[in-house]
Structure 1
Amino acid sequence: MSDPYPEAGPPIRVPRRSAHLETLRPYDLLAVALASTVGALLAVPAPDSTTGLSRVLLATVTGTAGCVSTLYAADYLTRHDDVIGKPHRPIPSGRLTEAAAKRSALLAGVVTVAVTCAVNRLALIFLAVAVLAQYAYGHRGKDHGLWGDLLNGVSGWSCTVLAGACFTARWPPSDVWPVAVVLGLQGTFSNLLLALGDLDADRAAGRRTHPVRHGHARTVATLALVATAGYTLAAVCLATRHTAPATYAPAAVALVLAAICLVLVAPRTPGVAARLSRATEVHFYERLVLPGALLAPATGTPPALAVTCAAVGLLALSPRALLPH
């Protein structure tokens, strides 16, 4: 009997730096940086002092550091599943050691907590909720279908907005909370879409994600419901701030991108894998445009567009090898 796993030749040496870059997914880092900025600016719109602007910048940097910690921790916690479904990932492939992942997660986490303590200890409440939710997702939540996706949305996006708000206000104002829900729903959509792309790998690993439990068609229907809820609430958030009509333009662009994602993944026909990959890439841009649209009431449309375009440009310049989940 022939060997079912023939030798493919000597292993290719890949610089360890590429493993760290692959772990630090640019689409996550940029989206979290924007979410932190949204929270900080909406809590105190248009800060007119150097101190205010520095706190907004500090919120952005600290939120990004927290994301770095989460990404390393997530790769560490899911390393056993990745051995089966994603052997090319940094830890299973041996390009990143488990010890290095743990050290990196710990270092970034310590920096995040230390800076947050120095600015406003109340923000630690949201960091604690995010850590607990992410831990629950990594251990059991992923197997609980949509509840796991919601846990991921809350930990990665809602808590980021609320923690960012604590950098410019003692406690997030009431009108920031709906925005946190909007981005939490977008994070839920994101996790669900990525799970749909990982359907075969998760099934092979024995996972019970929403796509594994309910199949392709019901997952797409759930994606549509989550997107509808998120964009409806986003429209309400913009309307309650009595923004100018031009402010709605970025939100409309984000809505179109979300619709394109749904159209691409809707039919379960040959070629769906390629369409899922394309839909995921489109969604990565949508994840930047929607937070940028929510920035507009605080900064005005031109500055919000400038920030959003800068983030989109950085994502577009990222090596394509770093984009897949």
Structure 2
Amino acid sequence: MSVSDNVHSPTHPQPKAVLELIKPITWFPPMWAYLCGIISAGVSPWSSWPLVILGVVLAGPVVCGMSQAANDWCDRHVDAVNEPHRPIPSGRIPGRWGLWIALAMSVLSLALGWLLGPWGFAATVVGVLAAWAYSAEPVRLKRSGWWGPGLVGLCYEGLPWFTGAAVLSQGLPSFPVVTMALLYAFGAHGIMTLNDFKALEGDRQHGVRSLPVTLGPEVAARVACTVMGLAQALVVALLFIWGRPWHALAVLALLCAQVWAMKTLLADPKGKAPWYNATGIAMYVSGMMITAFAIRTLEVAQ
């Protein structure tokens, strides 16, 4: 069944297919980053636990789930080439149900964001707009191998980190918090570049100029590794400068382990990208939480 046939199908989506559409496996990074933001703010999460729970749900299942639904709807023709088994091209989510789900979840995101206060709502608006700007025409930043991964990295790591800190502290986060959130968002550009390897053929056919398409898998993998490594090296340097040597050494140890994994990745970028996503990325996000604990009392110490 073609994508065009699916658009006119009168049937309803399968519940299991809806869950697959919003991809629970992708919820972890923004949920984790939100928790990192809470820790880094230096405020006890138990003092505002409803905001903690609401923010985690909003960052993961709702906003991230919405972004996945929007991306799959806008990418349905590409997915028909790359992954025809996905819910929309396979017909398990027929007609325009993918679009309606994405729009409904956008509204739900804004409603829940409103409950987080002005900082949380503003961040939710940014996240929703970014999700559609990434996937939808005429903007479709996904077409760029530089802007697309950068935007996703910002929304997956930087924005939820910032939001968690702002919501719990009820104000603009400190300079160290914002700096670390931006550095880990910058590093996430490399993570998103590696994620593009699975869509290489479809991206070529449909004009998506991801780095694996424009630079080739080998060069794109080197760029991704350099970006991830540079971001964490800057984190380590700042932690040393700010008087957090033990945390800096812990992040450095994780970075060294990632360098070992990167060597395996670079030997076969296309084949080993999924393996690296399951190993190197775990160490990357572990470093995020270590960094969050390092800076949670930084202002007090200064």
The TM-score bracket by the shorter chain reads 0.7 to 0.9
> Partners of 2:18 and 2:98 in 1: how far apart?
9
Report SS of the residue matched to 1:97: coil
Distance, in Å, in 1 between the alignment partners of 2:249 and 2:122 is: 34
Quick one: which amino acid aligns to residue 221 of structure 1?
R
Q: Which structure 2 residues correspond to residues 202-241 of structure 1 after superposition, within 5 A?
A: 202-239=203-240
2:111 corresponds to: 114
Shift of 1:117: 1.7
Counterpart of 1:62 in structure 2: which amino acid? L
Q: Which residue of 1 aligns with 2:149?
A: 149
TM-score (norm 1): 0.75
Q: Which residue of 1 aligns with 2:35?
A: 37
Q: Which residue of 1 aligns with 2:293?
A: 296
CA distance in 2, matches of 1:242, 1:57: 32
Deviations 1:181-235 (A, max 9, x none): 1221232111100113332232133321111111123212211220122102321
- Deviation of residue 154 (structure 1)? 1.7
Alignment of 1:133-212 (within 5 A): 133-139=130-136, 140-168=140-168, 169-212=170-213
Distance 1:286 1:299 in 2: 20
Is residue 264–residue 276 contact of structure 1 (8 Å, CA) maintained in 2?
A: no
Asked whether the equivalents of residues 258 and 286 of structure 1 are also in contact (C-alpha less than 8 Å), the reply is yes
Shift of 1:134: 2.8
Moved more, 133-142 or 175-184: 133-142
Q: Is the 8 A contact 1:46 1:298 kept in 2?
A: no
Mapped to 2, the partners of 1:299 and 1:176 lie a distance apart of 8
Q: Counterpart amino acid of 1:77?
A: C
TM superposition shift of 1:22? 2.9
| Amino acid in structure 2 at the alignment position of 1:146 | W
SS in 1 for 2:143: helix
Return the alpha-carbon distance in structure 1 between the equivalents of residues 283 and 202 of structure 2: 25
Contact 2:39 2:293 in 1 (8 A): no
For 2:261 and 2:100, the matched residues in 1 are separated by: 36
Q: Deviations over 1:92-142 (max 9, x none)?
A: 111223544334333433333223222321333333333333323224322
- In 2, Cα distance between equivalents of 1:242 and 1:59: 30
Give the number of aligned pairs.
280
* Aligned positions of 1:57-72 closer than 5 A: 57-64=53-60, 65-72=62-69
- 1:154 alignment partner AA: L
Q: In structure 2, what is the Cα distance between the partners aligned to 1:57 and 1:92? A: 34
Q: What does residue 251 of structure 1 align with?
A: 251
Matched residue SS, 1:121? helix
Root-mean-square deviation over aligned CA pairs: 2.8
CA distance in 2, matches of 1:106, 1:221: 37
- Structure 1 alignment gaps of length 5 or more: 1-14, 301-325
Structure 1 pair 254–108 and aligned structure 2 pair: CA distance change class (3 A): farther
1:128 to 125, 130, 134: 125
SS of alignment partner, residue 142 of structure 2: helix
Distance change in 2, residues 1:71/1:240 (3 Å)? farther
Deviation at 1:253, TM superposition (A): 5.4
- 2:197–2:270 Cα contact (<8 Å) kept: no
Show CA shifts across 1:16-70 (max 9, x none): 3442343343442111111011112222x1417x433443333222222221221
- Cα–Cα, structure 1 residues 261 and 25, in superposed 2: closer, same or farther, change >3 Å? farther
| Structure with the larger helix share | 2
Taking structure 1 as reference, are residues 22 and 289 closer, same or farther at Cα in structure 2, changes over 3 Å only? farther
For the pair 1:274 / 2:271, whether they are aligned, the reply is yes
- Change in Cα spacing, 1:95 to 1:171, as seen in structure 2 (3 Å) is same
Q: After superposition, what is the alpha-carbon deviation per residue over 1:231-286, rounded to whole angstroms, capped at 9, x for unaligned?
A: 023214533553361x3465245424532442223135xxx543233223224423
Distance 1:193 1:102 in 2: 27
Q: Distance in 2 between matches of 1:276 and 1:180?
A: 25
Instruction: Provide the rounded CA distance (Å) in 1 between the counterparts of 2:143 and 2:236.
Output: 32
2:14 maps to 16
